[in-house]
Amino acid sequence: MSADPPSSFSPFDAARITKAIRQRIQSLQQAGVTSFHTSAAEQTDLSELQKQLDAIRQDGRPASSTESQTSSVNASPPLATPQTTTQVTPAAASTNSATKVIPTPSSSAPPNNSPQESTAMPSQKQTELDIVCQEVANCTACTELADTRTNTVFGVGNPDARLVFYGEAPGADEDRQGEPFVGRAGQLLNKIIEAMGLTREEIYILNTIKCRPPGNRNPTPEEQQNCAGFLQRQLEIIQPEYIVCLGAIASHSFLECKTPIGKMRGQFFHKNGIKVLCTFHPAYLLRDPNRKRDVWDDIQFLMKDMGLPVPTKSDGVS
Ligand code: SF4
């Protein structure tokens, strides 16, 4: 099985990045943060940084040309780090799995799992996630979604999870409860997780966007782009080894490609040191139960690579 390589990343868009930084500053301020330290241990005041960005928006230049102020702008948190995506064929993945069985996070952990970071206490990670969650709750970047949502749906699970399930967008049940995958599709996802011998408390669940699109329409590319910074920060905190993209929208959004989902499943892609598996969305399985066999094949492929015992029972997802 093969798939087209994901397309290259979008060209640098200064206006979009500036807008995203401004939104993050506003969110941080609303969360009570007034300043942060750069890698050079310099303290940067957020209100001063906001002025700099206002000036850039108005005339394309910082308010002052002093080196220190310019470096403050450059020191703002990265939002759109250039990323690389590579594909591992089933054969190669199979070969790799022979030497990469990893019952616990180990030497095959992604490069961004530095020893210093991986020893962070779960409570520290949870605290960092809580800050991002607060920013999401205050976010109004997508006007229509912000006006119509009941709750933002940040994500749920273990901040130290090895495995993240990545879905499409909140539906009516998720919007009402503020938690992803709690409707009928969520119940089927729970069965998949249980068939793996895991619980929701051991993994993490996310969506491409945090607010429900009205009428359950698909999230637009702009809405996905608006929300991408939140996803990136969640993944930087959680540092999962594996991500399972559920359905075409999640797969195409995360891997930035348009390959049919049927051609993407059954193999690993690599992005930022994370092994990415694409499979059908549980909601699709509710419409076409014959596809459960395919999803179970994908999940077994994942379990073998994760070093999890694979049950001999053939109908793991019923
Ligand atoms: S979908 Fe994401 S970016 Fe858009 S309003 Fe909701 S939280 Fe903000």
Q: How far is CA 156 from CA 23, 160, 196, 299, 308, in A?
A: 23, 12, 18, 20, 22
Q: Which atom of ligand 1 is nearest to the CA of 146?
A: 5
Instruction: Judge whether 313 lies within some domain.
Output: no
Nearest ligand 1 atom to the CA of 230 is: 2
CA 271, 272, 273, 279 torsion-angle sign: negative
Rounded distance from Cα 219 to ligand 1 centre (Å): 10
Q: Is residue 4 one of the residues assigned to a domain?
A: no
Asked if residue 79 is part of any domain, the answer here is no
Q: What is the pLDDT along the chain (318 residues), one digit of tens a residue?
A: 434 434 433 434 455 555 556 656 655 665 556 665 544 445 566 666 666 655 554 554 444 433 333 333 333 333 333 344 444 433 333 333 322 222 233 333 333 333 344 454 557 999 999 999 999 999 999 999 999 999 999 999 999 999 999 999 999 999 999 999 999 999 999 999 999 999 999 999 999 999 999 999 999 999 999 999 999 999 999 999 999 999 999 999 999 999 999 999 999 999 999 999 999 999 999 999 999 999 999 999 999 999 999 987 555 566
Q: Give the atom of ligand 1 at the shortest distance from the alpha carbon of 149.
A: 6
CA distances from 239 to 110, 159, 176, 180, 235 (A): 8, 9, 28, 19, 5
Query: Ligand 1, atom 8: nearest CA belongs to which residue?
Result: 139
The ligand 1 site (C-beta within 6 Å) comprises: 136, 139-142, 145-146, 152, 209-211, 223, 226-227
Q: Name which of 276, 309, 314 is nearest 297 in CA terms.
A: 314
Residue 30: inside a domain: yes
Residue 125 lies in a domain: yes
Flag whether 312 is in a domain. no
- CA 26 to ligand 1 centroid distance, Å: 14
Regarding whether 69 and 180 lie in a shared domain, the answer is no
Q: How close is the Cα of 30 to the center of ligand 1, in Å? A: 16
CB 291 within 8 A of CB 285: yes
Q: Could you tell me the two tokens for 91?
A: 């054969």
DSSP state of 280: -
Domain with 68, as residue range(s), is: 14-74
Could you tell me if 90 and 267 are in contact, meaning their C-beta atoms sit under 8 angstroms apart? yes
99 and 40 in a single domain? The answer is no
- Amino acid identity at 293: R
Beta bridge partners of 44: 36
Show Cβ contacts of residue 50 under 8 Å, excluding neighbours closer than 6 positions.
22, 25, 26, 29
Best mutation site among 23, 210, 218, 249 for ligand 1, i.e. most ligand atoms within 8 A of its Cβ?
Answer: 210
Do 202 and 149 lie in one domain? The reply is yes
- Same domain flag for 42 and 89: no
Predicted structure pTM score: 0.67
Q: Number of folded domains in the chain? A: 2
Q: Which atom of ligand 1 is nearest to the CA of 136?
A: 7
Q: What atom in ligand 1 is closest to the CA of residue 219?
A: 1
Is residue 8, in this structure, part of any structural domain at all?
no
Q: Is residue 246 part of a domain?
A: yes
